């Protein structure tokens, strides 16, 4: 079964849009714009947000706080139905959940642009699904499998959008941000699998020595755990900042998650160095070289983030490199298999 170049390219564009949502989300976080729009999907009740506080009613804080209180109550009931009663209780008793911020047009438009990227990515996935649906019949079970994959990823994107409203309603409760991020990684992984299934250039297997493949899988698993740990470290830093701790005190206060995160970064470097060495002796695959370069950039941004007074865009860069690394590793483990001649 073959697909048109236009369809393949469109799926690559969709992947780029999904990545832009992640980048925009990171930028929202570093600028503190997560509550720039206190409601969802509209922003201050409008499809195009206001640029001045004069455009808002005098009691806008009370209005949106009441609306979010109802949504938090519904979400807490949902958590209770899943057996997460302790989490639901903490959420309902958290005094910061319903705290409203003053209107800030810069933060409002930053969050709005983030939502626009999410809207574009979701629409692109919807178009790709219907495009696939309209491809002529007679292609066998593969089309059905791809439709299920594209449909499932589209549902996940809808859930991601809904959960984005929960993140806003709970006033950026840390664990909701982590779930939001991890769900984005699942969507990226499934989109990459879809691209691998429809792109002729990606259909062939990467034939690797057995130990290279094993190490690649280990790096893949550690990278996923690293991204989870990274969100935990970031959440802890946010809390420490609220408590008045400066950058010099962060390392001491962060504890074990920070040290594990830092140590695993060097472990991935050692493993990828071994993979790169074996690659240069054998197949000289561009993918392995790209992995090594992206990891180096991620480590540099991580060092700057931890030890230099360079937060902000460095944090976004760190997330971008980590997500690209995840993407390359995902495509690698999807396509790779051992070769009898070189194992």
> Which pLDDT band, with edges at 50, 70 and 90, does 248 fall under?
low
Range with lowest mean pLDDT among 109-118, 150-159, 170-179, 280-289: 170-179
Query: What are the CA-CA distances from residue 169 to residues 53, 88, 255, 322 (Å)?
Result: 21, 14, 30, 28
Q: Which of 212, 222, 215 is nearest to 298 (CA)?
A: 222
Specify the higher pLDDT residue, 216 or 173: 216
CA separation for the pair 55, 61 (Å, rounded): 13
Contact partners, residue 183, CB within 8 Å, separation at least 6: 156, 159, 160, 163
In this predicted structure, the answer to whether residue 342 has a pLDDT above a threshold of 60 is no
Q: Give the HSE-up count for residue 195: Cα atoms under 13 Å, Cβ half-sphere.
A: 24
* DSSP letter for each residue of 94-136: -TTTTPPPPP-HHHHHHHHHHHHHHHHHHHHHHHHHHHHHHS-
The number of C-alpha atoms within 13 Å of 282 and in the hemisphere containing its C-beta is 20
pLDDT of residue 318: 79
Please identify which residue in the block is written with the tokens 């590793």.
Answer: 329
The pLDDT score that the predictor gives to residue 343 is 42
Q: For residues 106 and 315, what is the distance between their CA atoms, to the nearest angstrom?
A: 19
For residue 35, is pLDDT > 90?
no
Mean pLDDT within 61-78: 76
Contact (CB, 8 A) for 326 and 188: yes
What's the DSSP call for residue 311? -
């Amino acid at each position: 079964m073959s697909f048109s170049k236009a369809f393949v390219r469109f799926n690559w564009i969709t992947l780029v849009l999904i990545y832009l949502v992640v980048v925009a989300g990171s930028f929202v976080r570093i600028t503190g714009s997560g509550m720039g729009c206190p409601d969802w999907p509209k922003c201050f009740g409008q499809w195009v947000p206001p640029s001045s506080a004069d455009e808002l009613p005098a009691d806008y804080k009370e209005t949106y706080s009441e609306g979010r209180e109802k949504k938090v109550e519904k979400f807490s009931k949902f958590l209770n139905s899943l057996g997460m009663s302790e989490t639901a209780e903490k959420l309902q008793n958290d005094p910061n959940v319903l705290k409203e911020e003053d209107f800030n047009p810069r933060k409002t438009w930053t969050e709005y642009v983030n939502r626009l990227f999410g809207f574009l990515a979701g629409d692109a996935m919807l178009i790709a699904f219907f495009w696939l649906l309209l491809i002529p019949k007679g292609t066998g079970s593969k089309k059905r499998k791809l439709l299920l994959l594209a449909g499932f990823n589209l549902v996940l994107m809808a859930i991601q959008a809904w959960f984005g409203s929960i993140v806003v309603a709970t006033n950026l409760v840390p664990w909701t941000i982590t779930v939001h991020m991890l769900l984005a990684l699942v969507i990226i992984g499934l989109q990459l699998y879809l691209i691998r299934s429809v792109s002729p250039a990606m259909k062939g297997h990467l034939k690797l020595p057995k130990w290279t493949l094993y190490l690649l899988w280990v790096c893949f698993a550690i990278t996923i755990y690293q991204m989870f740990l990274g969100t935990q470290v970031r959440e802890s830093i946010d809390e420490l900042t609220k408590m008045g701790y400066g950058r010099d005190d962060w390392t001491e206060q962060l504890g074990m998650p920070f040290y594990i995160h830092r140590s695993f970064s060097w472990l991935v470097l050692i493993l990828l160095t071994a993979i790169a060495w074996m690659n240069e002796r054998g197949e000289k695959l561009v993918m392995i070289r790209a992995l090594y370069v992206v990891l180096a950039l991620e480590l540099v941004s991580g060092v700057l983030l931890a030890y230099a007074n360079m937060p902000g865009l460095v944090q976004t860069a760190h997330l971008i490199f980590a997500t690209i690394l995840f993407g390359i590793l995902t495509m690698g483990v999807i396509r790779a298999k051992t070769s009898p001649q070189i194992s």
